[in-house]
Each structure stands twice: as structure tokens, then as C-alpha cells.
Amino acid sequence: MTIAEYIASEAIESFKGGVVDSSTDTSHPLVVLNPKSFKMELQQGIKAQLVIACTSSVTASVEVSLAEGVVLDIVELYAADSIVKVTVHQAESSALSTFSALLSSSHVSYTHALEGRGATNRFNALFVATGAEHQTIELNTRHLVPDCSSNSLIKGIAAGRATGEFRGLVYVAPDAQRTDAQQQNRNIQLDNAQIVALPQLEIYADDVRCSHGSTVGYEDAEVLYYMRQRGIDAATARRLQVEGFVQEVVMRCNMEPLCGIVREAVSDKMSQI
Amino acid sequence: MANGQQLKMLSVKNLHASVGDKQILKGINLEVKAGEVHAIMGPNGSGKSTLASVLAGSEKFTVTAGEVTYMGEDLLQLSIEERARKGLFLGFQYPVEIPGVTMANFMKIAVNEKRKAQGLEPLTAAEFLRMMREKSAIVELDSKLTARAVNEGFSGGEKKKNEIFQMAMLEPKLAILDETDSGLDIDALRIVATGVTRLKTPENATVVITHYQRLLDYIVPDYVHVLYKGRIIYSGDKSLALKLEKEGYDWLINDYRE
């Protein structure tokens, strides 16, 4: 099932943005299919789930504000070429968890501003670029006040003649003491593809725990040999290896049944490698 | 066996192989018949692991001369996976980790690839699970490990048990075990060796590459070969292993020193 079929079969009404408060039905995910620009304000203490899915090309700007204590899970799927800018403002003790999968020539840039103490931000994303696609994830995690934490894992695969790009910035403002910011980026480059990885840290506070890392690797010849020695042909061995590589991040999507659909879409995309 | 003849399984003649400019195998001759256990011993760097890798089809090495016949076919013409599907199994000295690929998924694909090559239907999920349970018991492999990624976070002993578990799953005709005993404590060694012995049938054969005689207390070889500087310089029965353990290799290799 594709995500569009799922939305149709469940007769889910597209979310138009605006204020989300205790009168909003948040027992199901709020779904935005092929967004134009929209704004969303989550009022104090709200727990909600948001789905953004692009199944046809869009250019959009998404702005989300989390008031104090809001807990928001976002799942994003880019299955058609799109340019999307996502800006999130997080107030005190709010918790944002993002899972994003790019499976087409899209450019998605995130600005996550941690503006209230004790805000937490988890970000898990992957891109799978094949053919002649160019996919870009930009992530700007901004620690503006003390005592916030962020944890990001971005995995990318580029195959064929594709380009996969990750531009990451962790910014820690001068008085954002006791910031805990972790950002990891792992990529695999196959065939004649290209990976561009630009991880950056800008730290102006002195009492912080920050780490970041970025790697670009290739197929592991030893792993392929091992699998082939067990009777698995070279093409399947390669696919298993790259699927295994993204598994860590794919497993972090935890909004069922949507994540099942996302996993299926990722797996379909992988078969093009 | 038909006509009282043992089936000739592997025949290696004058095998030469190199890595880059370095000649490692310099004329190996070896015959293995069904039902036999061969041990290959020898000092470090003599070419034991290279022989195993060349037979498995590793692309790191180039065969420069000689021939290898396996089950009546020219082994060197077959791809790595074709060799495997025809029943050649290599127990790795250093089993690799495959992040994100579970043991169960890995084995399911491998077993079904082999069945496909034999013209058999894939196993049903229930049949496969039953097989996993039975075979993991042979090497006392914790059944939880089969839900984990291949070899990821496995201890040294678990990795080696896992090699024998995979051997049990794939039921090879010819198993080549490359220093399966290295790095094992005495309990793990007993479990691994007992597993290998239980998998022995009159139709299959095992080549055990080892440094130490102790493995051969459990896996009793029919023949022991000493590999030195890329050649088998001496072959004998199981008593040779004991003599090597006591006296070392010096009495054998002095004539071959440069």
C-alpha cells in the first residue's frame, strides 16, 4: 500500500494547519498530503502526531510551534520531487521527534530552534538517491537556551549517478549552557554516485556536551564475499548490505501503521539500487 | 558407496595462487574423498588460509597455474555463490559482522538460494523455524542470537559457533574450516568440534585448517597434511598431528629453509 492509498482508504481528512488545542482530535495522526505552505501551533501540553507526505511535487514552507510541554512526533515521506522548508520552534520542556525519508529528488531543509529550557529534539532521517537524482537534507539545530538536548542520526545512500547531500549545523548560543547535542551522519556511496557531507558545529557556550560525526563509506567487500560464500548472489548481497545499513534509522520510525508503509516505500526504492 | 568406491570430491593439482606480485601457493596437490576428514597444519604464513580462500573463490587471490576439480566440475570456473550452492562451505577464521541483517533473514535467503539451485521449493516459514531450532541446538547456540544482526556483538566463541550453525543449516558436501578453533576456550572448542563431528556423514567431507593438535582430539582426521611455503611437504595419518605437537615443525621444514 502506498501512503496515498492509505490516506484514501482511511478517509483521512487533510490537516489544514492552525491551532491545535484540547478541542482538536489528536487520537489519530494529523495528516498533510502534498502541503502548500502551512502553519501549526500546538497549545500547552498537547500530545500529537503529524504526517507530511509528498506524493506529487510541491514547494512548501511548514512552520510548527510547540508550546510548553508539547509532545509531537512527525513522520515525513518525500516520494516526489519537492522543495520543503520546515521550521520548528520549541518552547520549554517540549519534545519533538522527527522521522523523515527522502526517496526522490527533494531538497528538505530543517531549522529546529530550541527556545525554551528542557526542550528535547530527536531527528532521524534517511535519503536513498538513485538514477540521476539529487537529494538534499539540511539540518540546522539551534540551541538558544540552556538545558536542551538534541540527538540526530542521518543516513544516506547514493547509487547510480545520483548525488546525496547532507548539510548539518549544530548551533549553540553563548548562554545555552549544559546543552547536550549529538549529531551523526553516515553515508554509503555506490557506483558513480556522489555524497556531499558537510557537518558543522558552532559552539559559543563553554559547558556543553556536543559530538558530531560524518562518514562516507562504500560497499564492504568482505561482507559481500561472506554472503556470497553462503550462496547469495552478488546483487542480492549488495541489496541486503545497504538495507542493513539503513535498518538502524528505519527502525526508529515508530508510528504504526504508517511506518509499515514507509518501510515498504524504502524497500521498494532500495530495489532500484 | 557404489562399487565400493568412495566418491572423489575434490582434486587439487599443482595449484599456484598469488596476491599481487606475491606467490603464495606454489603447487598444491590434494585429493579429498567423500566421508574423509583432512587436517591441514603448518606454521604461520605457509598459505593455509589462502588455500581455503582460493577454493571458496575469493577475488583477492589470482590462480596462476594448476586445476581444481570439485564433484567432477572445474571449480575455478564457478563463481563464489555457485560454489557455495553446490555444497562448498567455508567456515571463516574471522566471521564478518553484517549490521541490520538478522541471522534469521540471512539464513533464510541462503538456504532458499541453495534449494532453488537444487530445484526445490523454498521452505515455508514453519519449516524454516523448525530447522533453525534443530540446527542451533547442535552447537548450543543461544536461540536469541538468530534474531540479532549477523555476528554483530557476538563474542569470539559465539561467532565460531555461528559458523558451524550455518554449516548445519546449509548441509555442505565439502566443509573447509579455517582455524575455527582459534580464540576458543576449551568449552567452546568442545561444542564446535562436537558439532562438526555430528554433521559428519559418509557423503560429505571436511577439511580442517588448524594450528593446534587439540582440535584433532575431537575431530579425528583421516589424513594430516603439513603446508609449508605454499606446498604440502608431508602427509600422514592422525599420529602426525601428535608428533607435530610434541616436536614442532623443525624436523620437517629444515630441508625447505632458504
Per-residue pLDDT reduced to its tens digit, A241-259:
999 999 999 999 989 888 9
Q: Please report whether residue A228 resides in a domain.
A: no
Which structural domain range is residue B7 located in?
A: 2-253
Q: Determine, for residues A230 and B166 on separate chains, whether the beta-carbon distance falls below 8 Å.
A: yes
**Looking at chain A, which residue has its C-alpha nearest residue B84?**
A231
Q: Please report whether residue A261 resides in a domain.
A: no
Local structure of A258: helix, strand or coil? helix
B148: left (phi over 0), alpha (psi -120 to 50) or beta: beta
Query: B214 pLDDT exceeds 90?
Result: no
- A221: chain B residues, CB-CB within 8 Å: 59
Cβ neighbours of residue B2 under 8 Å, at least 6 residues apart?
none
Task: Give the residues across from A172 on adjacent strands.
Answer: A143, A203
Single pTM value for the model: 0.85
Query: In this complex, which of A233, A241, A246 lies closest to B98 when CB atoms are compared?
Result: A241
Element (H, E) at A264: helix A258-270
- A126: chain B residues, CB-CB within 8 Å: none
Q: Determine, for residues A231 and B90 on separate chains, whether the beta-carbon distance falls below 8 Å.
A: no
Please tell me the distance from the alpha carbon of residue B78 to that of residue B95, in angstroms, as a whole number.
23
Query: In this complex, which of A221, A229, A244 lies closest to B98 when CB atoms are compared?
Result: A244
Per the CB < 8 A criterion, the answer to whether B206 and B224 are in contact is: no
Q: Please report whether residue A96 resides in a domain.
A: yes
* Backbone phi, psi, residue A144, to 5°: -105, -15
- B61: chain A residues, CB-CB within 8 Å: none
Cβ of B31: how many Cβ atoms within 10 Å? Answer: 14
Q: Please report whether residue B258 resides in a domain.
A: no
pLDDT of residue B1: 41
How large a percentage of chain A has pLDDT more than 70?
Answer: 100
Q: How far is A230 from chain B (nearest CA, A)?
A: 6
The answer, for A246 touching chain B at a CB cutoff of 8 Å, is yes
Higher pLDDT, B142 or A153: A153
Number of folded domains that form chain B: 1
Please tell me the distance from the alpha carbon of residue B113 to that of residue A112, in angstroms, as a whole number.
47
Q: Band the pLDDT of B258: cuts 50, 70, 90.
A: low
Query: B252 pLDDT exceeds 90?
Result: no
Each residue's pLDDT tens digit, A167-185:
999 999 999 999 999 999 9
Query: In this complex, which of A226, A232, A236 lies closest to B96 when CB atoms are compared?
Result: A226
Cβ neighbours of residue B159 under 8 Å, at least 6 residues apart?
B95, B151
**What's the CATH number where B213 sits?**
3.40.50.300
pLDDT of residue A272: 87
pLDDT of residue B3: 43
Each residue's pLDDT tens digit, B144-178:
888 899 999 999 989 999 999 999 999 999 999 99
Most confident of B15-29, B183-197, B212-226: B15-29
Helix ranges restricted to H, A89-220: none
Q: Which residues of A218-249 are buried (b: 16+ CB within 10 A; e: fewer)?
A: ebbeebbbbbbbbbbbeebbbbbbbbbbbbbb
**Looking at chain B, which residue has its C-alpha nearest residue A248?**
B100
Each residue's pLDDT tens digit, A55-88:
999 999 999 999 999 999 999 999 999 999 999 9
CB pairs under 8 A, 24+ apart, for B237-240? B238/B39
Provide the grid cell at B71: 564433484
Each residue's pLDDT tens digit, A102-161:
999 999 999 999 999 999 999 999 999 999 999 999 999 999 999 999 999 999 999 999
Please tell me the distance from the alpha carbon of residue A157 to that of residue A246, in angstroms, as a whole number.
8
Amino acid of residue B55: L
The answer, for B95 touching chain A at a CB cutoff of 8 Å, is yes
Please tell me the distance from the alpha carbon of residue A235 to that of residue A230, in angstroms, as a whole number.
14
Number of folded domains that form chain A: 1
Please tell me the distance from the alpha carbon of residue B174 to that of residue A144, in angstroms, as a whole number.
64
Which structural domain range is residue A123 located in?
A: 3-220
Q: Determine, for residues A230 and B170 on separate chains, whether the beta-carbon distance falls below 8 Å.
A: yes
